[in-house]
Amino acid sequence: MSDIYKRCLQSAEYLKNCFDAKDAIGIILGSGLGELANEIEDAVTVNYADIPNFPKTTVPGHAGQLICGTLNGVKVLCMKGRFHFYEGHDMKTVAMPVRVMKLLGVKAIIVTNAAGGVNRTFKPGTLMIINDFINFMGDNPLYGPNADEFGPRFPDMTKAIDAGFVQIAEDCAKELDIDIRKGVYMSFRGPNFETPAEIRFAETIGADAVGMSTVPELLTARHCSLPAVGISCITNMAAGITGEELTHEEVQETADRVKDQFKGLVKTMITRM
């Protein structure tokens, strides 16, 4: 048995005594988007600190709780707060909750984040469906001996994002009158925001948005055949595009401004996934 499989099993065994997440939709909430978790009914909340093998989060605005319950009539398992590579966790640790979700019987996941807009037609507050991604983190959660229990050595990434879920997200946005966009998310290691030169590079190679998360989770989900889609909240235009300096406060302010649209979108999407 691979070491990572053993560690994930231990976490999953503990959590199975707390709630039943079979066939739930997994939701990973990004910076400033955690409020959705407050709407979960019949919620069972488990602190990451209490879960065997789970690390602790260190970022302001990330609470660190796993919440299982019902959202808009749909069973969900929600991560309020995630692990980032820039916190010093290794990539396997960053993506480990996705594997635990898989072991708990979660049937699909939505990964969300705050991101910088590279596509010049975006505005702060734009929501973007991630329909492909670029791993620019210089590391990979699947690196090292393959965990055969989860998936193959060379997982295909042609369909890393579930095309059906992208369509569902588009349909839901249209019905909710949300002007949503689709695009490529490119992940940097962080923790600094990118330089203007890096953003010109990102633009050149086809990125629409940049951030410091999500790609580890999406790679890991694909590896273990957990269908996935991502939603980015464009909280700011990326470095150098407007000339303004970037701050974490701006990220949180914008996420807060569009949280109702974001929540409405996710709540509608989960009823169809």
Closest to ligand HPA by CB, 151 or 230: 230
Catalytic annotation present for 213: yes
Catalytic annotation present for 48: no
Residue numbers at the binding site for ligand HPA (CB under 6 A): 114-116, 193-194, 210-212, 235-236, 238, 246, 251
Catalytic annotation present for 149: no
Catalytic annotation present for 101: no
Catalytic annotation present for 89: no
CA atoms within 13 A on the CB side of 150: 34
Closest to ligand HPA by CB, 109 or 114: 114
- Shortest separation between residue 117's beta carbon and ligand HPA, angstroms: 8
Active-site position among 91, 207, 212, 255:
212
Tokens of 201: 């590079």
Q: Provide the strand spans (E) within the chain.
A: 25-29, 41-47, 65-71, 74-80, 108-117, 127-135, 180-187, 209-211, 228-237
Give the rounded distance of the alpha carbon of 93 from its chain centre. 14
- Shortest separation between residue 44's beta carbon and ligand HPA, angstroms: 30
Catalytic annotation present for 223: no
Closest to ligand HPA by CB, 150 or 188: 188
Instruction: Specify the residue for token string 């879920």.
Output: 165
Active-site position among 236, 237, 238, 269:
236
- Shortest separation between residue 254's beta carbon and ligand HPA, angstroms: 9
Enumerate helices (H) and strands (E) in the chain, giving the number of each: 7, 9
CA atoms within 13 A on the CB side of 198: 18
- Shortest separation between residue 161's beta carbon and ligand HPA, angstroms: 19
Catalytic annotation present for 187: no
φ, ψ of residue 15 to 5 degrees: the values are: -70, -30
Active site residues: 31, 62, 84, 86-87, 114, 212-213, 236, 248
